[in-house]
Amino acid sequence: MIKTLDRYIVRSFLGSALLWFVCCMALRIITDLFVNMDEFLEGDAGFHVTVLRIGWYYALHALEYVTQIGGVVIVLSAAFTLARMNHTNELTAILASGQSLHRVVWPIILCAMLLGGFIIIDQEFLMPPLKELLARGRDDIIEGKERFPVYLMTDGNRTLLYSERLFPDERKMQRPMFIFLSSGKSLSE
């Protein structure tokens, strides 16, 4: 049975998680953009094309950034929620009313597990179909010619593929390397 206390703690935790997520994501994107702005500005593309290229790149890589900062956001949200409740003496009032500290922490733990599940869904189900697009660098689409590196991608036959550059329009690879993984069976089988 969900009580008012549980709803209050969950709402406080999710509000903190949203705040930390927006702050960490904005910091991650702005820092990356500041450091790598020269790669976006290569070529003679106009302002609108450059802004579109930057927006497309960071919209795609937001899935990657969620995986990278998700755990940190969960820990910061839990700590911030409990620290705020302690600062405003809500935690003292809850404990004085006879509630256990475990009773306060369980809604936070359950919400943290759910957010961790969303991170796993992002990593295991949302990112793999976009792996070719995520493998591209910031400057890999210049003046309409697509090229990008391939870092140890697998095919259906348990073969790892590495290439410094892949040119899909020309169906060419620069310095390809194939690693054939054994299936655990001997050749005589």
Q: Are residues 154 and 126 in the same domain?
A: no
| Domain annotation covers residue 50 | yes
The predicted model scores a pTM of: 0.72
Q: Are residues 26 and 99 in the same domain?
A: yes
Q: Are residues 25 and 102 in the same domain?
A: yes
Q: How many domains does the chain have?
A: 2
Q: Are residues 153 and 66 in the same domain?
A: no
pLDDT band at 142 (very low <50, low <70, confident <90, very high): very low
Condensed to tens digits (0 to 9), the pLDDT of residues 51-86 reads 888 998 999 899 999 999 999 999 999 999 999 999
Q: Are residues 107 and 175 in the same domain?
A: no
Q: Look up the domain containing 10 and give its range.
A: 4-133
| Domain annotation covers residue 116 | yes
Q: Are residues 117 and 51 in the same domain?
A: yes
Q: Give me the chain's average pLDDT, please.
A: 86
| Domain annotation covers residue 67 | yes
Tokens 């949200």: give the residue: 77
Alpha carbon of 120 to those of 34, 64, 109, 116, 181: distances in Å? 29, 11, 16, 6, 26
pLDDT of residue 179: 84
3-state SS, the chain, equals CCCHHHHHHHHHHHHHHHHHHHHHHHHHHHHHHHHHHHHHCCCCCCHHHHHHHHHHHHHHHHHHHHHHHHHHHHHHHHHHHHHHHHHCCHHHHHHHCCCCHHHHHHHHHHHHHHHHHHHHHHHHHHCHHHHHHHCCCCCCEECCEECEEEEEEECCCCEEEEEEEEECCCCEEECCEEEECCCCCCCCC
Q: Are residues 117 and 171 in the same domain?
A: no
| Domain annotation covers residue 140 | no
The whole-angstrom separation of Cα 98 and Cα 28 is 42
pLDDT at residue 170 is higher than 60: yes
Q: Are residues 9 and 79 in the same domain?
A: yes
Q: What value does the mean pLDDT take over residues 93-107?
A: 92
Q: Are residues 168 and 91 in the same domain?
A: no
Q: Are residues 36 and 94 in the same domain?
A: yes
Q: Are residues 50 and 14 in the same domain?
A: yes
| Domain annotation covers residue 141 | no
Q: Are residues 111 and 151 in the same domain?
A: no
Size of the chain in residues: 189
